[in-house]
Structure 1
Amino acid sequence: MVVWEEMEECVFTGKVPLRIGIRMMSPLFLLLLLRAYETHNVKCGHQDPQPPLHSYYQSGDFIIGTIASQAFLLSTSVAFDEKPPETLSEDAIVVTNNYQHILALTFAMKEINENSQILPNVTLGFQIYDSYSSGKRTYHRTLQLTSTGSMFVPNYKCDTQDNLIAVIGGLYSETSQQIADILGIYNIPQFSYGFAPVMTESHKVLSFYWMVPNEALQHMGIVQLLLHFKWTWIGLLADNQETGGRFLQNMLPVLSHNGICFDFIDIYPHLSFDNIAELFAWRTEIYDKLWSSTVTSIVFYGEADAMIFLRFLLHQSEAEGVRQKPTGKVWLLTAQMEFKSLVYQRNVDIQDIHGAISFAIHSSEPRGFQQFLQSRRPSSATDDGFINDFWEQAFGCLFSDPANEEGDTCTGEEGLESLPGAFFEMSMTGSSYSIYNAVYAIAHAAHAMLSSRVKSRAMKARERGKFLKLQHWQLHHFLKRVSFNNSAGDKVTFDHNGEVVEGFDVINWVTFPNQSFARVKVGKLDVQFPPDEALSISEDAIVWHSFFHQARPLSVCNDNCQPGYSKKKKEGKPFCCYDCIRCPEGKISDKEADMADCFQCPVDHYPNKDQSACIAKTVTFLSYEEILGTSLVILALSFFFITIVVLGTFIQHHKTPLVRANNRNLTYILLSSLLLCFLCALLFIGQPQKVTCLLRQIAFGMVFSVAVSSVLAKTIMVVLAFMATKPGSRLRKWVGTRVTNSVVLFCFLVQAGICTVWLATSPPFPEIDLHSMNDKIVLGCNEGLPTMFYCVLGYMGFLAIASFTVAFLARRLPDSFNESKYITFSMLVFCSVWLCFIPAYLSTKGKYMVAVEVFSILASSAGLLGCIFFPKCYIIWLRPELNNREHLITRSNWAS
């Protein structure tokens, strides 16, 4: 019971789960617990049995705890198969750039304590420990933050207790998880300035705040960046921690879905000084992959210090058998990675990183921060337990030590601005900026909470102590509503998940031979925009590696298919490796975008010769303005006027024997129908309209039927006239105009019947033809029912053949002016023209098809006009002496 009484000297502050746990303990387990407690003499006032190597404390009314990540420890390994040495050595290897995180927190505290507008009459203090990237030490120091002062008595309040209101940490996701395991029990607000671990719902909702954007936004940004630069053939390197596995699990399906595939996907070992042999073996293996790979873009994912590992990877010496460095690579880095170096990398060339593209946590430069850094000296920060080791390793010197016989001695007056950027940056980094904002968020929330307690009357001095008893769990209500503009002008606010509402910057790493570098902001990933519009890039501002001669690098499995080609998958290769094949006829591909298939142009466009673009089709029809149309119009009108002249001649000489012997009425009908034939050709020229489409084929068919039937009637009349001259012939009564007129009328009525049926069933109509010609939109007339059109032509052909047959049989009959021979020849021309018309008509398209028909009309009409009437006009005009009755009788007798 003595032990129990000693325990009762302290106030037990365990939460409900611990109380329930103790109540549920079996008597035997409780006895063992008390026996252990008594054995180790754990009671109030005892010092921490394992004090921290590095710590930094500043007192204040409210304390903000911090778990930093500045150093790695090289500890003497302890095996249980032999007695350990009496003294265990622990040497710290400092990540010098991480010291800025401590200075950012110190600077923010200094600004707040000097600002009368935030927490007036209240001071902020801090307690900083290092996790050393060790889970054991992280748990230990987190518990120590919840203990009393320098005493290590977790879960108890003994004597004077620091008023811990929040904890900032850690830099690594695993460290954040370990801190949250402890702080989640106490519901102490935790601000992580690294990327989020896998959190339980209780931690996520109640006690955890992210000072960096959600990593899912970065995943989306990586995809958008690769698509922007058209890098579809990449390599992936990720660490073998839980975060690396999560990254690959989330990203691989998304990248594949967006047409991005991988030459290699590799997991690199965790950076640790306990697995040096494994690191060197892996480096040799991956170096060969980098050298042989055809990828240009490599996505490198890792935790905050992964840049140290990347530089270790790229630094191969000749002693390690490296023939040549893999050049022509663009490293795409994640926001966790800042430019850092360890001591042994002081002289390692950084040019391999030149031109890398990286996402970065947004940062701005608070006023006075660089002056604060320039004034930082070990002599002015005597309470800073981190500065001496940092100073020695950053400047490559040692402070005064009797055992130091060689090496430079640190004066303590060296300036941080003299360090190369790989060892210490004078501009505020993204992680430091997150810590800076976290301090201000805590201060603003505490200010809002204290302000809510102030009543209308002034607070009495004696009430101040009670007033300052702020419980950390009460701060959550105000943290979720905190929103402020920091001194750099940026707005800081949290969403409902406790994540800061902020995007990422896109930066370009520009390195220089003197080990310095510049972070050039070239774009932004804005959380306020839709995913497909969130990324903005100023490509002109990017400085690429000198290997690329300032041209945008290509990272594709093979050259992009040129316009006019489509891709064809290569068997046994990833889906973004393919051959390029020519587009099928009639299809195009118009982009160098690795098109999976060619596509058809719109119906009013056609492919160009290279099948790389669509050209608008030109509208075409047989118009009066073009040469072909004008020529046909002139030809038609010329024949029209010639026909008028011939008709006028025959009318003028209607009493002459030649005209009277050739049946004047039939001659007038034939010449009139030829006049109309030449005119109806004009209906085929010009833009087709509804009326012209209805009239032109019908008019052509009927007028030509009259002309051909007139020729047939003339042929029949020649035969009847010869037969009627024979003695005792009964055919005399058939010789006369009645028979010829009947033949013409009958033939005309048959054609009129065919045309009437055509118009009644399927009349012609205007048509826009988009398909018959590749490069033209043809305005024409659709004949409606093609069968009726060919019936009209067939009927005219039948009349022509009948006339030709009769005339051919009667060619040797005696007549004065060889009428039957002229008719035979004219029908031969007529039939030849229309026999040639059919294949020519079927083999042409567009306006040329119409031109063929117009030409056939003109040629056949001109053939009738010339063959039948030219000999007669010759006699009338040039040999009038032959145009008399005596000559007619003489010729008839001679023929007999």
Structure 2
Amino acid sequence: MVPYKLKLLNCIMLMCMGACKPEVQNKHSACHLEMEKSFEEYEYIQEGDIMIGGVLTVNSYATFLKHPEDNSIRILCMEAVAEYYRQFIDFRYFIEQTNNNRAFFPNLTLGYHIYDSCGDPPKAVRSVLQILSGTREPVPNYSCVGKRNIAGFIGDLTSETTVPIAQILTLYGYTQISYGATDPLLRDRAAFPYFFRTVQSDHHHCYLLTELLKHFGWTWVGVIRFDDDAGDREFQLLTKYFSNNGICIEFSIKINIYNIQSREHIINKHKEQFQKSTTSVIVLCGTVSITIAEEFRLLKDVLREKTLILATNWAANHMIYYAIEVFNGSLGFMQRSLYELNSPEIKAFLASIHPSKYPRDKLLEDLWMQYHLCSSTNEYKNKIYEYLYPYSLHNCTGEERIQDIWNIDNILHSPRVHLAVNVLSHAIHNMYMSLSKLSPKQNERLYNYRYQLHHYFKFLEYKVQGVPYNFDENGEFKSLYWMYNYMTETEEKTNVQYFEFNPLAPSEQKLIPADITWKTGQKPRAQCSANCPTGFRKASKPGTQSCCYGCAQCSEGEISNVTDSKNCIKCPDMEWPNEKRNQCVAKTEEFLSYTNDVISISFSAVSIIFFLITQLLIVVFIIHMDTPIVRANNRSLSFLLLVSIKLSFLSVFLFLGRPVDITCMLRIITFGITFSIAVSSLLAKTIMVCVAFKATKPGSSWRKWLGVKLSNSVVLFCSSIQIIICMTWLAISPPFQELDIHTSPGTIIIQCNEGSAIGFYSVIGYMGLLAAVSFVLAFLARSLPDSFNEAKYITFSMLLFCSVWITMIPAYLSTKGKNTVCVEIFAILTSSTGLLACIFLPKCYIILFRPEINAKSYLFQNKSM
């Protein structure tokens, strides 16, 4: 703006020094007067029963001149913007439509009093006071048009001009609707209770931008902000939103639009910074202006590959045409329209706008000069325009059309002023209909819109395709937004793709599926680091921003199932990560299975084979049960021993398969009792050998102990103790199934917990005690002279038995899971086989291969010897 202001002031000084008419050339004040006539204040009045004040921005900026005689301030507005004038047209169009609809206001008409604020806060304040006073020179707290009913105000476009307007109108109690101010300050209902706006605040816009960046996975962006209040405010909010959502700012460039002294140096500095940057996405924040657009045009060589993200105030703005190559492929937001922009009525009204129809419309005259290069009837205005712009004015034919003005009918135009006037008129209608039903005395308030019109805004609601639109508690009009993809092929042709963007929808539904045309042909990359795949987590790098990170694989037992996961998730106790560590799967169950373990099949086969061998021995002994070798040393004990050995082989199957509580209780108790019976039987046999030897002496008192009673009593007594130990163990703390999830990562060891370690070691210890006593007695009786003396065989069997179970204890304690079960099964099979081989194989050999020894004659022969 400032370069044009300086140029304008310079132009005025030159003209006042030598460009004026000769009769006024030496009269400085007269020259100023002529200049002021060239820039008359832009005021539009249409009287009506109900008046709506309007403070709209049409010209880009204003400059102030001091009159040389009375030192009064004169305001000169410059640079009318086509799309801003279209907003002024929307205002007038809706007023005309409302007045034509007699059903809406049967006996009333709407009027307006509009000023151009020129984007300048003092000018905006002056305009409001002029409307309230009804005079060219505003007089606060005074109105010379007291009978004119001012219902409310529309305006303004920017926050810089809207905030001071809102402060004044709050004092007077007038309702105000802005069509572009986004400052979050205006959300304060205590400070601005009568303020509304057809847009949402910068908070919402920053939220939209953040969700857009997140949707495309852009976490490493640059920011260009402009040196104005809007740029600083938006940058602070963006920084907050980006920080809360994991988006980092690689660089921030602040373009100073007021510094023209070292422009070349600044441009070169910006170019160097852009060239060093790695991101391809740049977010813009701040107010659009020609100076900014020219700055972008100078940077087009370094911004050609960058995708720009535009704020809502950039939509439909003609400034981007100053740097088409830069803005090509950019993305932006615009408020979803509630009206049909291309209806025949709107097109007809637009086509009717012409200087010949509105000769007093100075804004329209300015547009014709700027865009059609039509000369004005005011020669001073012509000279100033020719001085400011590198164009020559000419007399126009009158065939020029407003539709031919660049950007007047932009496809991105959003009728926010139209909406503001619509909302205000509906609130007036609702208030009028409500108060007109009251008594004449009460309806004195009918035309007093101050302090009460704003109450009717909360009942206003619009529906488009079933979606409700209304004002929220902060006075902001809630509506959906379009995201647009801006593709400019030439200066005359622009392609725009629309996408309905709903930030509250799930990620895959935020955008309606459509092809987005990217500037480089593919989606831009805006990440400091490559995405960490599933199975990995982000690992921060010292001295860098949070978006710059490495990738570390999840620890054992943890997964990450999304890319760029900040933390890994620990799997549940019963699950374990798969090989890629991106999914929790059920842990492998470990136990001696019949189907999956070869060793189980081996143990089963060995157990069955020895079971059959034992069964075969029983059959052999039954067939030869009356032979001396079978009857020697109590054949009932031999059969009991064979049966217990056979049961011990079968007990192996209790250790195979998936453990459950019942098998856990049976497995140790079964082999403990069966082995106790077997060892007790051997102990009884050993005792019987010793008693038999003692009884052979003449007059020995040991004869009375001969017989089955002693042996049976020994077996019964010794076995009963083991049974009592087992029952006590089961009663107090029985074994149970246990799932061990900690010993082996990724594996659930299904095993039996002994319940009571004392009970387990008591069973094993008692069995070992029986074996030790039997071993000692058998060892002492091994050389006693007796036919078929089993003592030496019992000695060897107990030696083997004790060796197996003594070595089993440390092996049992040092293994886990199915290895522990293997140790137990091996001990059972080995000890049972040892008993079978040492006790019965010698007898079977004699029975089957040396039958001559298995005779009474051989028995008596040995006794005589």
* TM-score, scaled to structure 2: 0.80
Aligned residue in 1 for 2:541: 570
Give, in angstroms, the shift of residue 192 of structure 1: 0.9
Contact kept? 2:469, 2:479, Cα under 8 Å: no
1:57–1:126: 8 Å Cα contact kept in structure 2?
A: yes
* 1:338 aligned residue (290, 302, 315): 315
Is 647-656 or 863-872 further displaced after alignment?
Answer: 863-872
DSSP 3-state at the match of 1:349 = helix
Deviations for 1:792-830, whole angstroms, at most 9, x for unmatched residues? 223323444554566567667777668455445444543
1:70 aligns with 2:48: no
Q: Deviation per CA, 1:56-113: give whole Å up to 9, x if none.
A: 4444444333222222347598899xx9999999672233322221121122122112
Within a 5 Å distance, the mapping from 1:619-634 to structure 2 comes to: 621-622=591-592, 632-633=603-604
Aligned partners of 1:335, 1:705: CA distance in 2, in Å?
Answer: 91
| In structure 2, distance between residues paired with 1:837 and 1:159 | 113
Quick check: 1:525–1:534 contact (8 Å CA) kept in 2? no
Q: Partner amino acid for 1:124? A: L
- 2:82, 2:405 within 8 Å by CA — same for their partners in 1? no
* 1:358 partnered with 2:314: no
Report which stretch shifted further, 486-495 or 213-222: 486-495
Structure 2 contact 501–512 (Cα < 8 Å) conserved: no
Per-residue deviation, residues 285-343 of structure 1 (Å, max 9, x unmatched): 4444343234454443223x26x56644543358xxx6x4373x54443323324234x
**Within 5 A, what are the aligned runs for 1:254-273?**
254-269=241-256, 271=257
Q: Map residues 457-468 of structure 1 onto 2, 5 A cutoff.
A: none
Q: Does the alignment pair 1:216 with 2:191?
A: no
- Alignment correspondent of 1:463: none
How far did residue 601 of structure 1 move?
Answer: 1.3
Map of 1:473 onto structure 2: 450
> How many angstroms apart in 1 are the aligned matches of 2:409 and 2:360?
23
1:149 touches 1:161 (CA, 8 Å); kept in 2? no
Of 367, 370, 381 in structure 2, the residue corresponding to residue 390 of structure 1 is 367
Q: Is the 8 A contact 2:232 2:286 kept in 1?
A: no
The Cα shift of 1:659 comes to 1.5
The amino acid across from 2:539 in the alignment is: K
- d(CA) in 1 for partners of 2:514 and 2:861? 108
Task: Say if 2:534 and 2:562, in contact at 8 Å, map to a contact too.
Answer: yes
Greater mean deviation of Cα atoms: 402-411 or 820-829: 402-411
CA shift in 2, pair 1:772/1:152, >3 Å: closer
Q: Deviations over 1:646-693 (max 9, x none)?
A: 122212212213223354233122112112222333333455454443
- Given the superposition, is the C-alpha separation of residues 624 and 875 from structure 1 closer, same or farther in structure 2, using an over 3 Å criterion? same
Structure 1: gaps (5+ residues): 1-47, 460-465
Relative to 1, partners in 2 of residues 1:471 and 1:690: Cα closer, same or farther, differing over 3 Å? closer
1:173 CA drift (Å): 0.4
1:857-872 maps to which residues of 2 (within 5 A)?
857-872=828-843
Q: Match for residue 348 of structure 1?
A: 323
Task: Write the distance in 2 (CA, Å) between the matches of 1:203 and 1:258.
Answer: 30
TM-score relative to the length of structure 1: 0.78
Match of 2:520 in 1: 547
Q: For 2:157, give the aligned amino acid.
A: L
Question: Structure 2 residue aligned with 1:52, among 40, 44, 49?
Answer: 40
Aligned to 1:134: 120
- Higher mean C-alpha deviation, range 358-367 or range 166-175: 358-367
Contact 1:173–1:195, Cα closer than 8 Å, also in 2: yes
Task: Tell me which amino acid in the other structure corresponds to 1:292.
Answer: K
- Contact kept, 8 Å, 1:522 with 1:542, in 2: the verdict is no
Rounded Cα–Cα distance in structure 2 between residues aligned with 1:770 and 1:572: 40
User: Aligned to 2:163, which of 177, 184, 187?
Assistant: 177
* Conserved? CA contact 2:328–2:488, under 8 Å: no
Question: What is the rounded CA distance, in whole Å, between the counterparts of 2:445 and 2:736 in structure 1?
Answer: 96
Equivalent in 638, 644, 660 of residue 673 of structure 1:
644
Q: 1:888 to 1:594 in 2, by over 3 A?
A: same
Q: Distance in 2 between matches of 1:837 and 1:507?
A: 76
- 1:302 — aligned with what? 286
Percent of residue pairs identical: 36
Structure 2 residue aligned with 1:4: none
> Is 1:325 the counterpart of 2:303 in the alignment?
yes
- Give matches, 1:225-624, under 5 Å: 225-269=212-256, 271=257, 274-277=258-261, 282-303=266-287, 305=288, 311-316=293-298, 324-325=302-303, 327=305, 329-342=306-319, 346=321, 348-358=323-333, 360=335, 362-366=337-341, 367=343, 368-395=345-372, 406=392, 410-415=396-401, 417=403, 423-427=407-411, 429-430=413-414, 433-451=415-433, 470-473=447-450, 476=453, 479-480=456-457, 483=460, 485=462, 493-495=470-472, 497-500=474-477, 502-515=478-491, 516-525=493-502, 537-538=510-511, 540-541=513-514, 543=516, 545-547=518-520, 549-550=522-523, 555-596=526-567, 598-617=568-587, 621-622=591-592
SS at match of 1:580: strand
Number of aligned positions between the proteins: 814
Contact 1:565 1:580 in 2 (8 A): yes
Distance across 1 between alignment mates of 2:536 and 2:673: 54
Gaps in structure 2 of 5+ consecutive residues? 1-35
Q: For the residues of structure 1 that align with 2:678 and 2:696, how far apart are their CA atoms?
A: 27
Is residue 365–residue 428 contact of structure 1 (8 Å, CA) maintained in 2?
A: no
**Superposed, which structure 2 residues align to 1:625-704 within 5 Å?**
632-633=603-604, 635-685=606-656, 688-704=659-675
Per-residue CA deviations over 1:761-798 (Å, capped at 9, x if unaligned) read: 32223444444454454554321112321232233234
Q: Distance in 2 between matches of 1:76 and 1:623?
A: 96
How far apart are the structure 1 equivalents of 2:464 and 2:570?
59
Name the amino acid aligned to 1:148. Answer: G
Q: Structure 1 residues 218 and 890, CA, compared in 2 at 3 Å: closer, same or farther? A: farther
Cα distance change of structure 1 residues 668 and 452 upon mapping to structure 2, 3 Å threshold: closer
- How far 1:117 moved relative to its partner? 1.9
Letter in structure 2 aligned against 1:209: F
CA positional deviation for 1:436: 0.5
Deviations 1:551-583 (A, max 9, x none): xx5544323333333333322223443333333
Check conservation: 1:505, 1:523, Cα contact below 8 A: yes
Partners in 1 of 2:734 and 2:467 — Cα distance? 77
Who is 1:92 aligned against?
78
Question: How far did 1:175 drift?
Answer: 0.6
Distance 1:168 1:347 in 2: 30
Residue 762 of structure 2 corresponds to residue 791 of structure 1: yes
How many Å apart are 1:704 and its aligned residue?
A: 0.4
RMSD: 4.5
> 1:488–1:891: structure 2 CA closer, same or farther, 3 Å change rule?
closer
TM-aligned CA distance change 1:868 to 1:155, over 3 Å? same
